[in-house]
Amino acid sequence: MSATATTDDREDRDGADGTATNGSVRRAASALLAPRFGIDPRALAAFRIAVGLVVLGDLLFVRLPGVRAFYTDAGVFPRSTLATLYPPFESASLHALSGDAWFQYLLLGVAAVAALSLTVGYRTRIATAVSAILLASLHARNPLVLNGGDTILLSLLVLGLFLPLGVRWSVDTMRRAEDATESRRGTDDDRVLSVATGTILVHFVVIYAINGAVKFQSEAWMDGTATPRIFHLEQYIVWLGPWVANLGTTLVVANWAWVALLCGSVLLLVFTDRLRAALAFAFVGCELGLAATMRLGAFPFVMVAALLLFLPPRIWDRLEAALKTVGGRDPRAVGESIGSRILAVERAALPSVPVGRRDVPARTTVRRLGRVTVSVVLVCFLVAVVTWQLAGAGFVDSPTDVDEIEEASWSFFAPNPPDAYWWYAWEADLEGGETVGTLTDGAGEIDRPPDAADTYPSVLWKRYGTDLRYGGDAHYEPLADYRCRRVADDSTYDGEPETVRLYHVEQPVTVDGRVGDPVADLRLEHDC
């Protein structure tokens, strides 16, 4: 045998060994990363359904009742005020194109259809994009009625654009099944592992982890008094909250348990299988506890929706088996039946639109460039959000005004919960000389409501009142005009209002409840 042939054989063996080694490294990396940064397709489907329902519920039960008060020119935050206080938002919001109620109802209707489409997985990516755009526009129209849950929900929708949310339990699944060009459908055991799955999981854990780190530095949270104090903030406490507020020792234990859970949230990215499921369910239980005791809008349900992404295949296998036992049918068969009916309606309404996707050839380099671009965008998104949260928590310096960052951050009663609850009162001088309003009782004392939560007709009013605490005249003047109109339209009052006064009233609290008398602060006196 020649020397040349021997050399060639050796190179072939080396190449084969190198390929085998690379394959082993990839398999080892996948075995390490997939259980931690991969997401079960059924978890993605459950997340899609949950987020769609949260958006739909928020639109119908939170935003819709408050359209005239918070999103029209006849309400407490007209477009002129938006343009004065938040010029970039006024330019960016579709909802700011008109101040009429009919236009807001129209956009809410479109958003509701998109949310429903997202829930059933019909044209999932388009539905996700429309939901994200309209939700961002709605948020920009009135930033004073937002809380952390709203911005987290928006961030999840944006990240959802890069995830295969329609891969299971969706109408789109039927669409792919009928597409003759698609040869691979996958199995339920295939985790989706990508930069996008890693980004959304890390993003969510960072929210909890930074919140835990901030609380860990708080004296109130460390000595166990924060949670008992929070449960005496009456503007938040509803439903089971007043009963829980009397469980002093239990609340102290819950205080430390919650801090420990938050600080251990990074283990969601370390644990796998049963341990990860147990930790995720612990967070779910806490979030549902918040929903049952506090008026927080969609926030707890947004967090529960995101926690579904952490549940391992074992949970979904058992869930599908349980549903099959209870219902007598395979959940996938039920989904396919519903999907087939929706597709049949689509064919009848749009016969010229093909059901299957067109197989458009794409060059490998273009596809690779697209994947690299998406990866870079996601990494930049994650870095920006983490930096923003670290700045809001005071861990890094930021050129942005600290107060603005703290208002927008996801701190959630950190580092220290308020030491008072508050409500708003008003007085109006009528033409006949009579003074009416809600500030004082018959004895002339400040009228403290039996329950401060009752002074806010809805979640939006509570959020608006919270942000209004730090506002100036530009914030209060539209509210004063709104109050003038309401008094003028109220037939129980004799005469038109001449002057309206707005008060911010605070009641100090400790871990034992109210302490001292409420203090009223005149914020604005306004001529009607």
With residue 290 as reference, give the H or E element that holds it.
helix 273-293
Predicted confidence at residue 358, as pLDDT, reads 47
- The token duo for 363 is 């060059």
Kindly list the averaged pLDDT for each block of 10 residues, start to end, along the chain of length 528.
52 55 74 93 97 98 97 97 96 97 98 97 96 98 94 96 94 70 49 95 96 90 95 93 94 96 97 97 97 95 98 95 76 63 65 49 71 87 84 65 51 84 95 91 80 86 92 96 95 92 95 92 96
Cβ 313 vs Cβ 333: under 8 Å: no
State the CB neighbour count (10 A cutoff) for residue 482: 17
Cβ 230 vs Cβ 513: under 8 Å: no
Cβ 421 vs Cβ 413: under 8 Å: no
Predicted confidence at residue 343, as pLDDT, reads 64
Tokens 């064919």, residue located: 347
Q: How far apart are CA 428 and CA 440, in angstroms?
A: 12
The radius of gyration of the chain's CA atoms, rounded to the nearest angstrom, is: 28
- The token duo for 184 is 């691979």
| Residue 14 CA to its chain's centroid (Å) | 53
Instruction: Tell me if residue 437 falls in helix, strand or coil.
Output: strand
Q: Which has the closest alpha carbon to 230: 412, 469, 21, 17?
A: 412
Cβ 111 vs Cβ 131: under 8 Å: yes
Strands 513-514 and 519-527: unpaired
Q: How far apart are CA 15 and CA 28, in angstroms?
A: 20
State the CB neighbour count (10 A cutoff) for residue 347: 13
- What dihedral do alpha carbons 156, 161, 167, 171 form, nearest 10°? 100
Predicted confidence at residue 446, as pLDDT, reads 86
Predicted confidence at residue 351, as pLDDT, reads 57
Predicted confidence at residue 441, as pLDDT, reads 79
Q: How far apart are CA 301 and CA 296, in angstroms?
A: 10
Cβ 309 vs Cβ 44: under 8 Å: yes
Q: How far apart are CA 427 and CA 502, in angstroms?
A: 7
Q: Tell me what percent of the chain is helix, strand and coil, each rounded to the nearest 5.
A: 65, 10, 30
Q: How far apart are CA 78 and CA 104, in angstroms?
A: 13
